[in-house]
Amino acid sequence: MRLKNTFYVIGGGGAFLVFAVPLLWALFRSVQPNDVIVAAPDGSTFFQLTWDNFRTLIEGPGNLVRAVGNSLIVALSTAVLTALLATLAGYGFARFRFRSGPVLFALVVVSMMIPFQAILTPLYLELNVLRLTDSLLGLVLFYTTVNLPFGVFVMRNSFSSVPVELEDSAHVDGCGTFRMLGSVLRPLITPGAATVALYAFLAAWTEFLGALTFLTKDELYTLPVALVNVQAGAYGEVNFGSLVAGAVIAMIPCVVLYVGLQRFYVSGLASGAVKG
């Protein structure tokens, strides 16, 4: 038992260092001047710290504050819409029996394996016809479409883990379907819904290629696209200080959300893994 505990401690400590060291190194580099970052290590300047990188991003021409606002709007809207649609679709697949149900759910599972780059052009053409390109709404619909198969898979398995007798008792007491979803089943499916919302938020927050394809106006750029524009300094020289400071800003919401919802995230993924 002691050897087993020692193994867990060493493994856990090693895993923590693998993830924590790059984050701490990025935080440290983000408060160093650009010329110190690109220069050879020098003890006399290595610990020279400044907030100029963050000040440049906030007050500079790249307008990173607006990009952060756009990313928050897109990511939060995608998370809410994906969780809502996945909850309704998952309930339908778990509780209603219809002839093509297994085939449709198999198609949903298969669609999880298709890279989003394969559907980027068809979706762009469809949204362009609907005049939803160059708009945050179109980007939200695109991200929702990409993340919905995983959400339906998780929520279908979450509802399958809830006993049907519980819903039958609620129906006998006069509870309607939507009231039962909101009052009786909500505490039981919260881990699954939180997992879907967190997964969709992180995917939308960090996504670059879709945003670059759908958006052409500077005022609509999300954070990943805006960072590409602010990383280049005079004469095309890469400003590593601004780049690493922007990366730190980008990872803050991800870390905060993951820490806050990680207990739901783990239980939701476990539910999706063991329930068929």
Measured in whole angstroms, how far is the alpha carbon of residue 221 from the centre of its chain? 17
Whether pLDDT at 138 is above 70: yes
Give pTM, 2 decimals.
0.82
Tell me: the pLDDT tens digits for 161-183? 888 888 888 878 777 777 877 77
Dihedral over Cα of 229, 231, 232, 234: its sign:
positive
Superfamily name and number for 62-231: MetI-like (1.10.3720.10)
| Separation of alpha carbons 91 and 160, rounded Å | 8
The helices-and-strands tally (H runs, E runs) of the chain is 13, 0
Is the model's pLDDT at 270 over the cut of 80? no
Return mean pLDDT, the chain: 84
Residue 276's pLDDT band (cuts 50, 70, 90): very low
Contacts of 31 (CB under 8 A, 6+ apart): 49, 50, 51, 53, 54, 245
**∠ CA 73-249-85, rounded to 5°:** 30
Residues 267 and 14: their CA atoms lie apart, in Å, by: 24
- pLDDT of residue 234 exceeding 70, the answer is no
What is residue 231's predicted lDDT score, i.e. its pLDDT? Answer: 62
Whether the predicted pLDDT of 274 surpasses 70: no
